[in-house]
Structure 1
Amino acid sequence: MGQQTLIYSFVARGTVLLAEYTEFKGNFTGIAAQCLEKLPASNNKFTYNCDGHTFNYLVENGFTYCVVAVESAGRQIPIAFLERVKEDFNKRYSGGKAATAVAKSLNGEFGSKLKGHMQYCVDHPEEISKLAKVKAQVSEVKGVMMENIEKVLDRGDKIELLVEKTENLRSQAQDFRQQGTKMRRKMWIQNMKIKLIVLGIIIALILIIVLSICHGFNC
């Protein structure tokens, strides 16, 4: 990988590893496994610091998603990576397909997906940061609206007002999702423009070299 930010990741069911990926060697794999055995079974996110690295875990519905990162990477990128891996894993192996019995074959199949998610998060820190801010705004709006709803219920206001506030919350959440989609599309277009420019430069250089060697088009 281009830079050593996210160095090791795995998906586990209970304490059994289903898929893992790393390009580096070190004792972080053993430490990550030890922390896995001590994690609470409840759905939550956990982060441990050790030897200049963070061990980040996301536990949900019996599955544990882990990534080991350098401490300087902070917590935003590792947590965003875990969310991406969880969504991808659930889409591919929903309905009990990710059973322990298929762990060996799953490791080869999903291990490459872990590599891809790691590379994406390392290469797009700005997009990850913006999406995290959008999610934080959505959570903040939900929190404010839930607080307002509780106040409405405490005052015994009409149910029509409650419905209106709920619809406003849904509309705002939809707007934030659309912003995230537009942001990802914009980043993709920018990347394609850069690739096309680089390709044009390469083609131009090749033509210049050929014309220099052949003294024109009379090869």
Structure 2
Amino acid sequence: MTKTSEAIVKTVARNHRVAGADPDKRRQILDGAHQVFIARGFDAASMSDIAATANVSKSTLYVYFEDKEHLFVALIEREREAQKRGAFEALAEDSDPVRALGNFGQCLVRMINCEFAVSAHRVVIGVAERMPDLGRGFYENGPMQGAKLIATYLDRMVAEGRLAIEDTNLAAVQFIDLCQSTLTRPRLFNAVRTPPSEDEIRRVVGEAIAMFMARYGAKQRG
């Protein structure tokens, strides 16, 4: 397909974007995209490859996703939703902040440091300058959402007198950053090529909890 004909396909698809509402077809495309991205990586994958693997026409593909970047982010969102449920459930009913935040922190670190998540972060950071809306959406639906969830839990712990925090939004982000210390940044820069072990995760998150409680535990602030 020439650049001109591909531009025409994109324009027609954009004008009919509302047609891309079939959840089964969308799932079929994402399944195909997942296979292609895993096998070839983001840079080497093409929309033609994805259409062929998903067994859809290229025009249908563009009805659902305007370009490879948006398709990749949609796939990230799907994978993230599937993984984060366990982390969010860790906070649901537990009134022991040490245990609840520890479970959440370990789930979070596993999720962020898996191969697909690391690749996803690299890709989004790489395109965020020229596609700021895509970068902002990725942040708002991921890191910011997780911080809001923790802040809501911290609000409840403050109300119950278990923690003493003036700014729970700030404390939530601090906790997330503490849990990732020494683990996530080396992965993003490919200085470390394998996910952290369970022992490493438990150690780092445990230290994060100790530091967090030293600052925000009710007795320490009393």
Q: TM-score, normalised by structure 2?
A: 0.30
Q: Which has the larger radius of gyration?
A: 1
Structure with the higher fraction of residues in strand conformation: 1
Structure with the higher fraction of residues in helix conformation: 2
Q: TM-score, normalised by structure 1?
A: 0.30
